Amino acid sequence: MKSDSNKALVVLSGGQDSTTCLYWAIGRFGHGNVSAVTFDYGQRHRIEIDCAQEIAAAADVPHTILPIDSFAALGGDALTDSGIAVADIIDDETGLPNTFVPGRNLIFLTFAAALAWQRGIGNLVAGVAQTDYSGYPDCREETMQSLQETLRLGMESDIVIHSPLMHLSKKETIELAREVGGLEAMALTHTCYNGERPPCGECPACQLRAKGFDEAGVTDPLLTAP
């Protein structure tokens, strides 16, 4: 299958990282060549999907929402199971944060690759990073490289996975967002693990976000949004 190496599909979660990636992709591939996909996988906070829609609309790129109901059926993780409390804890047995859905990013990117295959799109862009996320093995560069090879073999494609944030700290991600013109869109993003808007400011996700903006010397547009 010959796909267009000028076209890119961005995995857009509604958070600041994937939003930065969306603007990075627009800069890299050109506005008319970029589209976005968001997965409706039963996340606890539906607000993330609303945010992704608003962000895609603001950036004026085609946007697909793809349902994945299997995670809820797999069950037992804090991000999709509302019966499990979110806490900044590490599971003693697995050594992973309890927000870990095994292989979640592998699933997301494989579905994104299937969508890209059907549309003849040659590039995937994902906001995964191994900095600050060392607990998530499906975010690491080595995993992404192996997945790219698997997708190429399994779909007979020449798909390229881009992860522009892979080695950036939160501070550097904010700086990149500013560089690619994505800072304003940060007002539309969602980060809070507790699903609050304005954000709770207390949960680990809010604190990590605040730290990034703080270190970059930038005011978070979300905090001053009307």
Which residues within the stretch 6-25 sit at the binding site for a second copy (CB under 8 A)?
A: none
Site string for a second copy, 45-84 (x = CB under 8 A): ---------------------xxxxx--xx-x--------
Q: Which amino acid makes up residue 166?
A: M
Q: Which of 75, 133, 104 shows the shortest CA–CA distance to 11?
A: 104
Q: Does 149 bind a second copy (CB under 8 A)?
A: yes
Q: Does 166 bind a second copy (CB under 8 A)?
A: no
Residue 37 host element (H or E)? strand 34-40
Q: Helix crossing, 170-179 with 16-29: angle to 10°? A: 40
Half-sphere exposure of 13 (CA within 13 A, CB side): 22
Q: Which of 183, 141, 189 shows the shortest CA–CA distance to 162?
A: 141
CB closer to a second copy out of 60 and 69: 69
Q: Does 117 bind a second copy (CB under 8 A)?
A: yes
Q: Does 101 bind a second copy (CB under 8 A)?
A: yes
Report the interface residues with a second copy, using CB under 8 A. Answer: 1, 66-70, 73-74, 76, 93-94, 96, 101-103, 105-107, 110-111, 113-115, 117-118, 137-138, 140, 142-143, 146-147, 149-151, 153-157
